[in-house]
Chains A and B, each alone.
Chain A
């Protein structure tokens, strides 16, 4: 069974966001990393980019395929996880802590309420 922490919010495309932090870290779920297997490259978003919820912001690459990552909420990209450029496999090993991909400063914090909670996401990946 894949790990779905209760304190996070989820998109149906398998990104998580921690809305309790500001700026809020974003990554991919344990379920997503297990599906992708072997992440070999993370193409990070540009710092300072303004994104809207649901916008494609960056790409992660496994041996098999390139996968788009979408912004769970609107806001500004204020940090990217530099560690992933040398160690993309961290995304597989530690998807919720060390493997965060970018941090976003939400422009409309209530958007996170529209995302799935842990229970809904567990059903989603059923």
Chain B
């Protein structure tokens, strides 16, 4: 057994169990996969609001006179564009240009940054950042992951929930952050999410997590929503075509292959991995992350299923699921560029049989316009 380490528990573990959640291992944590059902929770987020425990995610605070220059040298997006109170999606790359992690970086003040990183990559990110730090720069790093809890409140009624819980005017607009000091420590309200809906993420000291979670669950339910597990989080993010580190992103592929070039500023000056990206741009991408949708009745595509194009196996499914909004199988796979063109027919091999799929534009799901 590879998973012989005891699973870690968030400060909300007992509350999840009390609320009837089904717990499963995820990235070394014992997390709720669902409370009542993935589809019901998914639809609640699309139609009203849901709350997720994201305490497993990591938080780093990087500060000092040299913090901006340091982060601009290790992250792909241009962090100098951030005003205090603003955040951006960005990537941490290896020297070879592979994705170590994707994260959100906020500038909380002129000389302080708040990074939210993936649970499975906390240690790898930390080691990598430390390895890039030189003695002469004035940068301090603190890993707040162990004593910080997090909640994601997502859905068209997230604003209403924020008003109920924190008072009106407290909702952080998209890609902004509000930091409040309390007797227990800082609280961070971030205008971000992983569902494609309006919403916010709320990080706080672990000891107050249960109190806030209960308060927010009550407000969410009053707004017609439900607490949600990681199952719905996965179907929601995949409907938007958002990558999941470990499935769709790895150190074996660059952000250019993953279709994340928008978050890579090749013109800002040098950063870790830039040289490799420039070389790859010159040589041409070997493959690209394509979004596909099953075109007929088919079992849901799942990670590692073989993907064929013109009769040949050309890749495998990275992320795949049955989309609750579309009632169709959707997924993403790295395939050669000629197979990644919108409209191309692919075949997904499921238990020895091949089922047709079509390469489509992301996101898979769009809110229907009024």
Contact = CB atoms under 8 A, between A and B. Distances in A.
A63 B300 contact: yes
Interface majority SS (helix, strand, loop, mixed), chain B:
loop
B231 interface: yes
Contacts of A37: 34, 36-39
B297 interface: yes
B192 interface: no
A61 B322 contact: yes
Contacts of A62: 38
Interface string A38-57: 10110100000000000000
Contact of B298 (A38, A41, A63, A64): A41
Interface string A50-79: 000000000101111010000000000000
B154 interface: no
Interface residues of B, number: 18
B289 to A, nearest CB: 22
A34 to B, nearest CB: 9
Contacts of B36: 37
B351 A64 contact: no
Given A40-B322, A41-B322, A63 B235 contact: yes
Contact of A63 (B231, B297, B351): B231
B315 interface: no
Interface string B304-338: 00000000000000000110100100000000000
A115 to B, nearest CB: 26
Contacts of B298: 41
B343 interface: no
A63 B299 contact: no
A105 B37 CA distance: 35
Contacts of A64: 33-34, 38, 231
Interface string B206-247: 000000000000000000000000010001000000000000
Interface string B24-40: 00000000011011110
Given A43-B299, A66-B299, 10 more contacts: A37-B39, A38-B38, A38-B39, A38-B324, A41-B299, A41-B300, A59-B351, A63-B231, A64-B33, A66-B302
